[in-house]
Amino acid sequence: MLQSSLVAWCYYLLGAAGLMACFWWLTKGLQSSRLRRSLRVAVAIMLVCPFSVGDGYADMAPAILMMAMETVFEGSEAFLRVGPALFGLTLLGVLLTLALDQYLRLQRVKKVAEEDLHRHRDELLAETE
């Protein structure tokens, strides 16, 4: 059983990589880099996040597929088994992406300010000589 599950995941991840490549291409024209990165992370998490097939089963399946299948076949209350976990992980990933983006932006601003300070210092030293 493990072997067939592994093969299925390999095929799924290959397809998910193709979908992510298409989404990457679709979002390349977005002007806002924060929005572009956040959307890409959200789609990647939703496509790749695994979730247990059911209680007592060791197999995992893509959470988005589990959520869709359970909602369609078992009704809207079955959405509550997978949906909150998937959307929570997606939200966490987007928030971490935004935090990293903000940190990197602040580092760039700090570096530019330091370079500016060094340039002004060098100009003052050149004037005093």
pLDDT of residue 1: 53
pLDDT of residue 96: 96
Instruction: Report helix, strand or coil for 51.
Output: strand
pLDDT of residue 57: 77
pLDDT of residue 79: 84
Q: What is the pLDDT along the chain (129 residues), one digit of tens a residue?
A: 567 888 888 999 999 999 999 999 999 999 988 999 999 999 999 999 998 887 777 788 899 988 888 888 888 888 888 889 999 999 999 999 999 999 999 999 999 999 989 889 888 888 887
Which amino acid, 19? L
Query: Is 63 exposed, middle or buried (CB count within 10 Å of its CB: 0-12, 13-18, 19+)?
Result: buried
Cα end-to-end span (Å), the chain? 79
pLDDT of residue 74: 86
CA-CA distance, 48 to 13, in Å (whole number)? Answer: 7
pLDDT of residue 126: 83
Q: Which two tokens stand for residue 66?
A: 């589990």
Report the 3 state secondary structure along 11-70.
Answer: HHHHHHHHHHHHHHHHHCCCCCHHHHHHHHHHHHHHHHCEEECCCCCCCEEEHHHHHHHH
CA-CA distance, 88 to 92, in Å (whole number)? Answer: 6
